[in-house]
Structure 1
Amino acid sequence: MLKIRHAILHSFDFETGEKYFSERELDLDEKTTRSYVQRTMHKCLTSADNKHGEFSEGSAFAEELGLYLRGENGFEALSMSIAQWFWEELRRSDDLTNADLLVTDFDEPPSAPGAGAGEQEAAAAFDAEPKRYFALAILPRRQSFLHTVDDVDGHVSNELVRTDATLPTPTQKIDTYAVIDVASMSIDFHDKARTIGGTESFVIPDGLLQCSTQASSREAIETVTRIVEDVAEEYGLNTAETVSRAKALVAQRVERDESFEPEEVGREVFEEQPQVRERYEERYEQTAREESIPDEVPVKRGVANRMAKSHRIRTDTGIDITFPSEYSSNPTYIAFRNDDDGHIEIVIRNIAKIENR
């Protein structure tokens, strides 16, 4: 569970042209408030759609954040500076949506060691310090309806009241936020394109933070599996086996290191086929430049479990099969064979029980 050090909420009403900047932090002793902030920040921190970035040299935000971390500026003052920047910027946008700004400073407990970790790795994980993050999120307010109960002359009257002050629930996606690891100053963020002053831009990386933009974990994993599939198909290999093999390798690397090297995954998939491996490297090098994929991609273990632990295939006969990615290289459980007529046989072995789903 995240430990929230500080949290504050500022409000923007673009329809009336009013802003309401809080002069007090949220009361984190209030369980409902604390839970909302924790769950919202956890969703931002662990999203597979987070793009990654590093502060540009001379970033004004990085300088302000540094002052705060060194105790030379207060949390409320920094949050108001951020709120003022968003107020001035977002009010010029063609998409004026009333919103609140949540600014937080929180700790994430050390990750548990991955499966198969040795005693030294387990001890290091146990002794590790929590990771500290500084984060901000734009929470768009939504229209909703409430019921009220009145007593008029002894008669109960239920009425509907519209409110425009409802914030997204912690399970709903939000599209504009940034989470900064204060130790490494690395950034995870998500943003949407906005038209401001007639020009389309992204307010998080281009404006507020002034940071680079690299592909998200989801984009990197999907790019690797797409190239593996294309190259395998080009050389007449079984795409189900090769793609699931690539997913299994990603899951293994992330389980151990919480990161993976996309180019190395493809190389290992085709390590026994030098010509195919060279083709993969050629395709990957070109794609990595075009799609800004870093040499090493940070991935949370939970993200890898959702995206790479299993592989789903659908046959042209309408049969869906989902199986653990690691089984692709273990014919004990599943095997793919080509018939003489070019059709594919899928053999599933060692089944003790079948459940209907």
Structure 2
Amino acid sequence: MVVIDKAILHVLDVNDANEFFSDELLNLDLSTVEFLIKHIEKTIDSQDAKKGCFYEDSEFKRILIGYKNEEMEFVSFSKEVASSLYKLLINSDGVASADLLICDARIDEVRYLVIFKCNNHQGYVHQVTVDEAGRVNTELVNNYAILPGLSQRMDEFVFINLETLDILSKAKKYNVDGNSIYLIPELLLECTQTPSPTETIKEINKVVKKVTEAYCQDQVAAAAAVKNFISENIQSEAVIDPVAVGREVFQDNPSMQSDYSNAITEAGFAEPVAVNQEATLKKLRKHKLSTDTGIDIIIPTDYFENTDFVEFFKNDDGSMSITLKNIQNITNR
């Protein structure tokens, strides 16, 4: 359950070098509360988000603790956050103007500071004008300050547990002084970042592919084995252990196990990562194959090891054949 206690909106117009910081809290009417709650519920379980902890000398942490201890009221605190972010954005390359939503909210009875950086998007709205003679004129107007709809996702966000100060964030890289950095966690929050669940799965697949290529092994079978192992294990515990994945996939080849373990550790993805069970299982449920002949096939992951439904053959000329079995009906889509 999500309860919004306070919320405010600041405008960071970096294109025209203007900042518009609100002196008043948002009116928490039904539509505003619905907007905020929907986006909080949609983003807090994002598999693209990274966990983090403040550095000891973080300036953001200092002012956050001051706000938490009621040494600063919410509007002043939010303005300081907005001002700090605006100064960072104005000195970055290729940055879009944005609206900054800051909320003090309770999520399942835990108090959080929630920050949504809503990068302005182009969209069209209608405009109605009435002239002196009473004639009505309707027009399409190009608007560059469109907020994400309820079905869309926030570009960048931060959740800070105000009890533990644990951080969950999703951020984009910006070019600052010639360096590409995650501006919000690295410069605004000044905190660490651990790999996200999505990044971890991508890196696992990348390393598995690299190792199987190096040993001239079946990449399709290895990729399916990765999905099967992760799917089976996260049903009992919502955690992915990248090193354990390598042990399972390459269990018959110690050399491949070793190469995988070294590569995943060197890439910084050796530590287990917590995942959202439902979201991860949904992604792993099917495996898509694209052939060089232009044919795409989507197969349930757990069918790869079941020759009653699908079987792969290596032909004498080096090509591959796929046989689909026990099909009772085919539907055109």
TM-score bracket relative to the smaller structure: 0.7 to 0.9
Deviations 1:51-83 (A, max 9, x none): 332222222322333344455544333322211
Instruction: Give the RMSD, CA atoms, in angstroms.
Output: 3.0
Residues 1:180 and 1:245: Cα distance change in structure 2 (over 3 Å): farther
Structure 2 counterpart of 1:135: 114
Shift of 1:221: 0.5
Shift of 1:313: 0.8
Structure 2 counterpart of 1:238: 218
State the secondary structure of the residue aligned to 1:32: helix
Alpha-carbon contact 1:244-1:328 (below 8 Å) kept: yes
Alpha-carbon contact 2:39-2:153 (below 8 Å) kept: no
TM-score by length of 2: 0.84
Question: Alignment partner for residue 297 of structure 2, among 321, 324, 336?
Answer: 321
1: CA distance, partners of 2:84 / 2:72: 17
The one-letter amino acid paired with 2:165 is M
Structure 2 counterpart of 1:20: 20
Residues 1:336 and 1:47: Cα distance change in structure 2 (over 3 Å): same
2: CA distance, partners of 1:247 / 1:309: 8
Residues 1:350 and 1:160: Cα distance change in structure 2 (over 3 Å): closer
Is 1:312 aligned with 2:288?
Answer: yes
State the secondary structure of the residue aligned to 2:287: strand
Residues 1:158 and 1:175: Cα distance change in structure 2 (over 3 Å): closer
1: CA distance, partners of 2:16 / 2:206: 48
* Runs (5+) with no aligned partner, structure 1: 110-129
Where do 1:51-66 residues align within 5 Å? 51-66=50-65
Where do 1:15-164 residues align within 5 Å? 17-28=17-28, 30-71=29-70, 73-95=72-94, 97-109=96-108, 132-145=111-124, 146-150=126-130, 152-164=132-144
The one-letter amino acid paired with 2:7 is A
Shift of 1:356: 2.0
State the secondary structure of the residue aligned to 2:56: coil
The one-letter amino acid paired with 1:21 is F
2: CA distance, partners of 1:183 / 1:268: 38
Is 1:220 aligned with 2:219?
Answer: no
1: CA distance, partners of 2:99 / 2:52: 24
Structure 2 counterpart of 1:118: none
1: CA distance, partners of 2:152 / 2:243: 33
State the secondary structure of the residue aligned to 1:248: helix
Residues 1:356 and 1:199: Cα distance change in structure 2 (over 3 Å): closer
Alpha-carbon contact 1:245-1:326 (below 8 Å) kept: no
TM-score by length of 1: 0.79
Shift of 1:174: 4.3
Structure 2 counterpart of 1:10: 10
Is 1:261 aligned with 2:260?
Answer: no
Structure 2 counterpart of 1:353: 329
Shift of 1:262: 1.1
Residues 1:251 and 1:335: Cα distance change in structure 2 (over 3 Å): same
Alpha-carbon contact 1:244-1:310 (below 8 Å) kept: no
Alpha-carbon contact 1:43-1:170 (below 8 Å) kept: no
Structure 1 counterpart of 2:277: 301
Residues 1:78 and 1:325: Cα distance change in structure 2 (over 3 Å): farther
User: Sequence identity of aligned pairs in percent?
Assistant: 30
State the secondary structure of the residue aligned to 2:267: helix
